[in-house]
Amino acid sequence: MLAVSHAIEDLAHETATGELISTFQHFDNFLHQEDRYRELARRLDAVRVWAEGEPPAQMDDIDFVPIFHPELTRYWVVLFDSPEIHAILFCKQANQADHFQRKVFSGYYSFNPFVVRSLRRRFELLSCGISGVVSQFERYFSPQMPDSLNDFDTLLTTA
């Protein structure tokens, strides 16, 4: 997942226009990527970083969006949308592990403009504080992805 995330970020860097949305379950996780994201923000129209906790010191070129709904911290999303290029990695944590090396995620990546723009629109609504969108977000995406390791195993054996 990290390699796919970096590939989408690299694509955004090369494209040099568009919007990048990334979730980091907690803002502390962002600090390891701060230099990379500062460089992306210099090249792109918008960079938005979503996470739980206290945002880092204000950076004029990066929008920090605090996550106030705990269920949203289970998602790992890197979304890039530009006039010509569309890419997303969309995953949900399938277990309750706290340590990164033990976390299991399920999800997908896509270059489909409809998928990318649909999810981008949902993030825009969430950032406006429309809390009803969270339950709709969960209802829409949770059935598509396993919610536990047992569900994940079942998905793998039926796929």
Give mean pLDDT, residues 77-84.
96
| Residue of 127, 114, 118, 110 whose CA lies nearest to 11 | 110
Q: What is the pLDDT, as a whole number, of residue 125? A: 76
* 142: confidence class by pLDDT, cuts 50, 70, 90: low
**From edge to edge, which strands make up the β-sheet containing 63-66?**
63-66, 46-52, 19-26, 75-81, 86-93, 105-110
pTM here is 0.80
**At 148, which CATH number?**
3.30.870
Domain enclosing residue 57, as ranges? 2-158
Residue of higher predicted confidence among 118 and 40: 40
* Domain count across the chain: 1
| Beta-carbon contacts of residue 30 (< 8 Å; ≥ 6 apart) | 24, 37, 49, 51, 56
Q: What is the pLDDT, as a whole number, of residue 154? A: 52
Residue of higher predicted confidence among 145 and 58: 58
Give mean pLDDT, residues 39-57.
93
Residues above pLDDT 70, as percent of the chain: 79
Q: Does residue 136 register a pLDDT over 50?
A: yes
Residues in the chain: 159
How many angstroms separate the CA atoms of 99 and 128, rounded? Answer: 31
Give the side-chain half-sphere CA count within 13 A for 109.
14
Residue of higher predicted confidence among 129 and 38: 38
| Residue of 137, 122, 114, 116 whose CA lies nearest to 12 | 116
Give mean pLDDT, residues 85-95.
91
Region of residue 18 (phi > 0: left; psi between -120 and 50: alpha; otherwise: beta) = left
How many angstroms separate the CA atoms of 65 and 20, rounded? Answer: 13
Q: What is the mean pLDDT of the chain?
A: 83
**pLDDT one-digit tens code per residue, 109-134:** 999 999 899 888 887 777 666 555 55
